[in-house]
């Protein structure tokens, strides 16, 4: 359904092909801010390596000032994944978040500087409510703090600096023009526009990106980025509206995890661009035939890994990666699927790395008490779980206990529950 195109050269603040959209993944930072989603340093490293395999351009590895553990985890990712070469010869950018003060910024720099491509991401709130009640600062003071922060980051030797006006979605556009023009002047290379509270409609958010590109001084020297929260279920739509209006970096997380209702989900943004990027985005810079360098075949396994390690289970009808996303229940749908799979599928399960199950092809196996290790292991692999021997042994032992009592065998959801259950036991 779509052809992959080569990734253009990475230059901070410049994208040599204006149709290329960078994917910035913040699963390890904003995603980990989901209540209860704590990850160990080893799990973070493994997820980061998978994100790089998936083809993510920029990995936001954490918030180094938050704790010594977070610092170590970011440093570990920068020193390792940040120097490894992936599928298309690409070394991912490793980014650390910091508030707009020298202590945070220095800590972030010390964590990421071992990477081949280190980035500092610094932010300060710009909406009236945040400036007055949270920061207790005047707009003039906020501009000064932002300019000093970017200047300080640059003085450390960092040439890839992202600045975010937090709560931009509820900020005065005129104030955004002022603060963004000022940070460009002192060296910001990516301007990320967060809809921190998920307040914007797609047409409002797209309009904001357009206005910023037209009114910020030096806008042609930087990459505009989106960071959309999902409080109204519009994070993916808002990110795509941003791309339609010229944003060329989209921030997202695997499975859409994140603060409150979560973030734009990587798999939704990426598959939307993979399926419709060639035809639906005219209006921004370039020809409007948008593309990313993500290899979607790794989406399913990355989603499963994030779900297993964070304990954040996807709802069954979650777009792209939910357990039901490629299942067909009604007789009419099954009839259509048998005749031609495109009747009810706009993408194939294989395109995101899933093997077709027995739900629509008539093939497949029933897993019951007589099934052996091979059958269970094969089905788990088909579902995207590649388990280490110790984990697989624990899942298989539990499978046998449950299958003894279950008439009609175990469904895929039961198997997935056993994997998640065992992951919980092993982590305790």
- Chain positions 20 to 59 lying near ligand KIV, rule: CB under 6 A, are 30
Is 166 a binding residue for ligand KIV by CB under 6 A? The answer is yes
Alpha-carbon span 193 to 412, nearest angstrom: 40
Residue 225 or 300: the one with the smaller Cβ distance to ligand KIV is: 225
Is 227 a binding residue for ligand KIV by CB under 6 A? The answer is yes
Min separation Cβ 168 and ligand KIV, Å: 8
DSSP state of 132: I
Among 229, 249, 265, 422, binds ligand KIV (CB under 6 A): 229
Is 230 a binding residue for ligand KIV by CB under 6 A? The answer is no
CB atoms within 10 A of CB 426: 12
Nearest to 205 by CA among 183, 176, 162: 176
Residue 32 or 345: the one with the smaller Cβ distance to ligand KIV is: 32
Is 190 a binding residue for ligand KIV by CB under 6 A? The answer is no
Among 27, 127, 164, 253, binds ligand KIV (CB under 6 A): 164
Alpha-carbon span 415 to 419, nearest angstrom: 6
Min separation Cβ 93 and ligand KIV, Å: 16
DSSP state of 314: P
Stretch binding ligand KIV (CB under 6 A), from 191-199, 268-276, 334-342, 403-411: 191-199
* Rg of the chain on CA atoms, in Å: 22
Q: Which two tokens stand for residue 106?
A: 């220095």
Is 226 a binding residue for ligand KIV by CB under 6 A? The answer is no
Is 236 a binding residue for ligand KIV by CB under 6 A? The answer is no
Stretch binding ligand KIV (CB under 6 A), from 73-81, 189-197, 279-287, 375-383: 189-197
C-beta nearest to ligand KIV: residue: 194
Is 98 a binding residue for ligand KIV by CB under 6 A? The answer is no
The footprint of ligand KIV on this chain (CB under 6 A) covers a number of residues equal to: 9
Alpha-carbon span 60 to 344, nearest angstrom: 36
Is 194 a binding residue for ligand KIV by CB under 6 A? The answer is yes
Is 123 a binding residue for ligand KIV by CB under 6 A? The answer is yes
Query: Under a CB-based contact definition with an 8 Å cutoff, are residues 288 and 273 in contact?
Result: no
Alpha-carbon span 403 to 281, nearest angstrom: 50
Stretch binding ligand KIV (CB under 6 A), from 134-142, 171-179, 188-196, 377-385: 188-196
Stretch binding ligand KIV (CB under 6 A), from 101-109, 192-200, 235-243, 304-312: 192-200
Alpha-carbon span 361 to 14, nearest angstrom: 47
Please give the span between the terminal C-alpha atoms of the chain, in angstroms, as a whole number: 43
Is 104 a binding residue for ligand KIV by CB under 6 A? The answer is no
CB atoms within 10 A of CB 229: 24
Q: Which two tokens stand for residue 204?
A: 């409002």
- Chain positions 262 to 301 lying near ligand KIV, rule: CB under 6 A, are none
Residue 229 or 272: the one with the smaller Cβ distance to ligand KIV is: 229
Residue 244 or 264: the one with the smaller Cβ distance to ligand KIV is: 264
Alpha-helix runs per DSSP H in 117-244: 128-129, 139-155, 173-185, 202-215, 235-244
Query: Under a CB-based contact definition with an 8 Å cutoff, are residues 101 and 149 in contact?
Result: yes
Angle (deg, nearest 10), helices 139-155 and 173-185: 30
Q: What does the binding site for ligand KIV look like in residue numbers (CB under 6 A)?
A: 30, 123, 164, 166, 192, 194, 196, 227, 229
């Amino acid at each position: 359904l779509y052809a992959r195109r080569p990734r253009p050269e990475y230059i901070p603040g410049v994208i040599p092909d204006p149709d290329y959209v960078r994917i910035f993944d913040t699963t390890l930072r904003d995603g980990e801010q989901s209540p209860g989603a704590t990850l160990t340093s080893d799990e973070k490293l493994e997820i980061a390596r998978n994100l790089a395999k998936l083809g993510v351009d920029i990995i936001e590895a954490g918030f180094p000032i938050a704790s010594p553990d977070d610092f170590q985890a970011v440093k570990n990712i920068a020193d390792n994944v940040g120097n490894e070469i992936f599928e298309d010869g690409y070394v991912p950018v490793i980014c650390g978040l910091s508030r707009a003060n020298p202590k945070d910024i220095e800590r972030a720099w010390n964590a990421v500087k071992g990477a081949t491509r280190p980035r500092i991401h610094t932010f300060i709130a710009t909406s009236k409510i945040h400036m007055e009640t949270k920061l207790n600062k005047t707009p003039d003071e906020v501009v000064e703090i932002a300019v000093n922060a970017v200047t300080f980051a640059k003085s450390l030797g960092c040439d890839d600096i992202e600045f975010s006006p937090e709560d931009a979605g509820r900020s005065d556009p005129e104030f955004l023009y002022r603060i963004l023009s000022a940070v460009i002047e002192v060296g910001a290379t990516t301007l990320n526009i967060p809809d921190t509270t998920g307040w914007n409609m797609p047409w409002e958010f797209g309009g904001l990106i357009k206005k910023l590109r037209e009114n910020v001084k030096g806008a042609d020297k930087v990459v505009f980025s989106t960071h959309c929260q999902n409080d109204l279920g519009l994070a993916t739509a808002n990110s795509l509206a941003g791309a339609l209006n010229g944003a060329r970096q989209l921030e997202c997380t695997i499975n859409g995890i994140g603060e409150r209702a979560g973030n734009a989900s990587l798999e939704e943004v990426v598959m939307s661009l993979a399926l419709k990027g060639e035809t639906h985005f005219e209006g921004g810079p370039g020809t409007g035939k948008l593309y990313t360098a993500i290899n979607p075949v790794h989406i399913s396994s990355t989603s499963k890994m994030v779900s297993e390690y964070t304990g954040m289970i996807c709802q069954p009808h979650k777009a792209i990666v939910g357990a039901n996303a490629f299942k067909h229940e009604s007789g009419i749908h099954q009839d259509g699927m048998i005749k031609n799979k495109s009747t009810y599928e706009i993408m194939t399960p294989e395109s995101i790395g899933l093997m077709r199950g027995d739900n629509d092809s008539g093939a497949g196996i029933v897993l019951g008490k007589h099934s052996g290790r091979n059958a269970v292991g094969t089905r788990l692999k088909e579902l995207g779980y590649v388990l280490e021997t110790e984990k697989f042994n624990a899942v298989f032992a539990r499978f046998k206990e449950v299958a003894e009592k279950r008439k009609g065998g175990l469904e895929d959801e039961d198997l997935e529950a056993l994997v998640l259950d065992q992951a919980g036991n092993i982590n305790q």
